[in-house]
Structure 1
Amino acid sequence: MTSTDIPAGAPGGRLPQRRRIVTEIPGPRSRELHARRTAAVPPGVGSVLPVYVTDADGGVVVDADGNSLIDFGSGIAVTSVGNANPRVAERVKAQADRFTHTCFMVAPYESYVAVCEALNRLTPGDHEKRSILVNSGAEAVENAVKIARYATGRPAVVVFDHGYHGRTLLTMTLTAKNMPYKQGFGPYAPEVYRMPLAYPFRWPTGPDNCGPEAAAQAIDQITKQIGAANVAAVVVEPIAGEGGFIEPAPGFLPAIAAFCKDNGILFVADEVQTGFARTGDLFACEHEGIVPDLVTTAKGIAGGLPLAAVTGRAEIMDAVHGGGLGGTYGGNPLACEAALAVLEEIEERDLTGAARRIGEAMLPRLRELAAKHPAIGDVRGRGAMIAIELVQADGTTPDPVLTAAVARRCHEAGLLVLTAGTYGNVLRFLPPLVIPDHLLAEGLDILTEAFAKEAAA
């Protein structure tokens, strides 16, 4: 099956923007490469789909056997502007011709400063800000905690159920889900405390009560168990990512932010997965008007190159002594040039608007699908960060088996989708913000067919 191609040279048009299946998935060449991988790479490094990519652009990923798959994953919300965005590629190539590394802590360069200036301008709030650049989301979150502890002189950090913040020792501790992220890797870092998240679909008294009740419970537990005066920071994802794209019930985040402000606690918004237009706002915390003290970003910031950042109030960021922050590769010049290109793409192509349009196209289709299949217990998300939660016949028990089966059928048909959720029962959709409309519609057709086949099986 093919779809109308975008003309060559158009955005996302270097490769034909169509699904094309020429072998089974994975095909023979991918299976050969997988055999090599098995002999060279430990099984602890997993992959969603064992097809080996040779090319990608716009809304498609091409594997070693020539199959062209529709991309509903974006490298986990990384390639929002496309896998081979021309502006990103050109700036990276030009920088590589000049120099690839000096270490900003040894001999600095303008692009690092320019990225920080842009983050200071674009993140929520009109207060004076500073930014530092690092390599990954986990490193950004870890630095945010370091900065918060230093600036406040307090030890405790509060996080929430279903949260995911990384795989380093500290961020693994902050992460809620045990398997596969924490199992066997303890003991964990001290002074980390976990509170209930406002999870509307699973809140005992129903979604209407969820926001205020969850906030009241969290505040009560912080006050009783830790003492507000001992808390350096509350770290929270405005939409829980790996936990299942859980959008906290309205009012929850503002109540937590107000509690933080009243008690000298720093509110840290982990925007690693939600940032840079993914949710239809430039940053997800803007949806309820929250102005964080610190914001962590990564993933979509640099079009696939490793870059992350911590941006915060100037007086907080400036508190740390000279030499206390940094890293050898943090703010690498290639990644900085890529980030500047990404920010230009977001602004000039109105990718926040594109994300909203993706959500407007996907959510009605998914709600129609849920009406036909009771196994879809919840449809949720904002912008181009959308999910469905699958349950058993009782309407609440998680169904990770069905989730895996539907994902497998999508993969076999040429649609790359991801799973998520604390219970492994969520299908999440993160299409590139530049995906053509016809590929988005075709991907939803494939998902619909996958559910029909599972229901008939």
Structure 2
Amino acid sequence: MAFSLLNTSLPMHADRPGPRAAALVARDQKVFAPCMGRVYPFVMERGSGCDVWDVDGTRYLDFNAGIAVVSAGHTHPRIVRAIQEQAARFIHMAATDFYNEPMVTLGEKLVATMPVEHEWQVFLANSGTEAIEAAIKLARYATGRQGIIAFFGGFHGRSYGALSLTASKPVQRRGYFPLVPGTFHAFYANPYRPPLGVEPSRVAEACLAYIEDTLFRTVAPPRDIAAIVVEPIQGEGGYVVPAPGFLCGLRRLCDQYGILLILDEVQSGVGRTGTMWAFEQECPSDASGACTVCGRAQFIGCIPDILVTAKGLGGGVPIGAIVARKGWTSLWEPGSHGNTFGGNALACVAANEVLDLVRHELAANAARVGTYLMQGLRNLQQRYEVIGDVRGRGLMIGVELVMDRETREPARVLAQRVMDESFRCGLLILTCGASTIRLCPPLVLTEAQVDEGLAIFETALRASL
């Protein structure tokens, strides 16, 4: 695929931030706590699709979508219209105590996205963190067990239960101990950086064996483990796609020991990877449709007990949810969990539009345009030694930068430079993991915008070397 380094639609190395943006950043710093680590001084004024403008009128191409949130693009007319029409009727009535149609419709649509082998029920929250907390509470409540296993490199949120599972960066946990007891961490099957000293071809097998042969036999008796919580693709940990067979291997372990499998699809779900849920692509199947690892029919090996979603579900409006097997939710007695804002009508109508858009067009677009973007990035990888790995599915793509391809030493400073230079050149990207460029644009991305983004990215990469 060819693309030009010359990009006349964006001013290269313009003065950013402009005067209005700089003034607003200064105002912000006076009134907001510094715990939020802003990465560069972008101050948004408006957006449309994958284009955004700052308060000085400078246009940027958005390849981060508010961290994989603005799934249908900025100000999608269907979402805007649905919110406006609902706001004119009513904005909120506590769903903990009462009912509303947008909420019921959303529950029906979420259930319809799940495999038909089981009955499903929904609990609505306001964020991914809150949805993770609900999943933990349900798992403990339904099983009568307390232990939870999560994974190194994982990110599940910042409230105490979710933070206890999170293990991606020390700064996220520093100063908050003791965290929730009964939490254990295992190794994620990262084929680019295999843990436990094994070859990439054996990483899934080794990581599963570590859980069963080490954790279960030393510090985490399986009879006390309520759930295993895992991201089908790690987000903050570096956009890591696990080795084939890892997820269905976890399903096998859970079935064997009576443990619930919780899939955290907060970042990977709602069409981001080219299917509604990332787990739909995880079980490798042969010509007969049987999984080549667990031998069972396609999807059966990977179906979660509880699925957690948020981010892209609301298209920019705060919302989170769990979708869980009815056999577990039926044990949750009235009053055992709830919240004030879950089921908010504005959030629900936005999510209803997002799910329709994803089902009818956006998931397919993510798969098609994601393939095109991946091809362009791999072409760059052939020309730049610092690009160690390009990985992902759909429009959830990581570009890992390294000091050396043999040692794979993370190029932390370079990744920061590339992100900063991309901002100066008009492309909004973020990093994740140690030195991975995270690309998660709105799912309305076009091939022409891919070409534009790749041209800017290469310019920024060259300028950073």
Give 3-state SS (helix, strand or coil) of 1:172's partner.
Answer: helix
Asked if the contact 1:365/1:444 (under 8 Å) is kept, the reply is yes
- Counterparts of residues 29-108 of structure 1 (less than 5 Å): 29-108=20-99
Distance 1:235 1:140 in 2: 12
1:231 corresponds to 2:225: yes
Distance 2:330 2:373 in 1: 43
TM-aligned CA deviation for residue 28 of structure 1: 1.1
1:310-359 C-alpha deviation (Å, 9 max, x unpaired): 111101011111011210001110000101111121123x2111111122
Distance 1:19 1:326 in 2: 47
Give 3-state SS (helix, strand or coil) of 1:48's partner.
Answer: coil
Give 3-state SS (helix, strand or coil) of 1:406's partner.
Answer: helix
Distance 2:280 2:215 in 1: 25
Asked if the contact 1:55/1:61 (under 8 Å) is kept, the reply is yes
Distance 2:446 2:50 in 1: 7
Asked if the contact 1:277/1:352 (under 8 Å) is kept, the reply is yes
Correspondent of 1:336 among 348, 358, 377: 348
| 1:322 partner letter | P
Distance 1:292 1:19 in 2: 44
1:196 corresponds to 2:187: yes
Give 3-state SS (helix, strand or coil) of 2:235's partner.
Answer: coil
TM-aligned CA deviation for residue 438 of structure 1: 1.4
Using structure 2 for the length normalisation, give the TM-score.
Answer: 0.91
| 2:439 partner letter | F
Tell me: CA distance 1:302–1:19, structure 2 relative to 1, closer, same or farther (3 Å). Answer: farther
Query: Counterpart in 1 of 2:460?
Result: 450
Query: Counterpart in 2 of 1:327?
Result: 339
| 1:200 partner letter | P
Give 3-state SS (helix, strand or coil) of 1:202's partner.
Answer: coil
TM-aligned CA deviation for residue 179 of structure 1: 3.1
What is the number of equivalent residue pairs in this alignment? 438
Asked if the contact 1:124/1:283 (under 8 Å) is kept, the reply is no
Correspondent of 1:183 among 174, 188, 207: 174
1:294-318 C-alpha deviation (Å, 9 max, x unpaired): 0000001111111110111101011
Distance 1:382 1:443 in 2: 18
Tell me: CA distance 1:321–1:197, structure 2 relative to 1, closer, same or farther (3 Å). Answer: same
Asked if the contact 1:22/1:65 (under 8 Å) is kept, the reply is no
1:374 corresponds to 2:385: yes
1:142 corresponds to 2:133: yes
1:362-384 C-alpha deviation (Å, 9 max, x unpaired): 11221121222221111110100
1:298 corresponds to 2:315: no
Query: Counterpart in 1 of 2:276?
Result: 282
Distance 1:27 1:357 in 2: 36
Distance 1:124 1:426 in 2: 33
Give 3-state SS (helix, strand or coil) of 1:126's partner.
Answer: coil
1:353 corresponds to 2:361: no
Asked if the contact 1:195/1:221 (under 8 Å) is kept, the reply is no
Tell me: CA distance 1:360–1:226, structure 2 relative to 1, closer, same or farther (3 Å). Answer: same
Query: Counterpart in 2 of 1:246?
Result: 240
Distance 2:373 2:387 in 1: 15
Give 3-state SS (helix, strand or coil) of 1:285's partner.
Answer: helix
Give 3-state SS (helix, strand or coil) of 1:431's partner.
Answer: coil
Asked if the contact 1:20/1:69 (under 8 Å) is kept, the reply is no
Query: Counterpart in 2 of 1:397?
Result: 409
Distance 1:369 1:21 in 2: 20
Query: Counterpart in 2 of 1:437?
Result: 447
1:311 corresponds to 2:323: yes
Asked if the contact 1:95/1:337 (under 8 Å) is kept, the reply is yes
- Counterparts of residues 18-29 of structure 1 (less than 5 Å): 19=10, 23-29=14-20
Asked if the contact 1:159/1:192 (under 8 Å) is kept, the reply is yes
Query: Counterpart in 1 of 2:106?
Result: 115
Asked if the contact 2:399/2:436 (under 8 Å) is kept, the reply is yes
Distance 1:41 1:235 in 2: 33
TM-aligned CA deviation for residue 48 of structure 1: 2.6
Asked if the contact 1:21/1:67 (under 8 Å) is kept, the reply is no
Distance 2:222 2:366 in 1: 38
1:131-159 C-alpha deviation (Å, 9 max, x unpaired): 01000000101110100111100010000
Give 3-state SS (helix, strand or coil) of 1:325's partner.
Answer: coil
Correspondent of 1:264 among 255, 258, 264: 258
Asked if the contact 1:155/1:191 (under 8 Å) is kept, the reply is yes
TM-aligned CA deviation for residue 107 of structure 1: 2.3
Asked if the contact 1:410/1:447 (under 8 Å) is kept, the reply is yes
**Runs of 5+ consecutive residues of structure 1 not aligned to the other structure:** 4-17
| 1:435 partner letter | L
Asked if the contact 1:78/1:299 (under 8 Å) is kept, the reply is yes
Distance 1:366 1:2 in 2: 17
Distance 2:117 2:108 in 1: 13
Distance 2:240 2:445 in 1: 24
| 1:184 partner letter | G
Tell me: CA distance 1:438–1:137, structure 2 relative to 1, closer, same or farther (3 Å). Answer: same
Give 3-state SS (helix, strand or coil) of 2:192's partner.
Answer: helix
**Runs of 5+ consecutive residues of structure 2 not aligned to the other structure:** 1-5, 284-298
Give 3-state SS (helix, strand or coil) of 1:107's partner.
Answer: coil
Give 3-state SS (helix, strand or coil) of 1:272's partner.
Answer: coil
1:66-100 C-alpha deviation (Å, 9 max, x unpaired): 11100000111111101101111111111111111
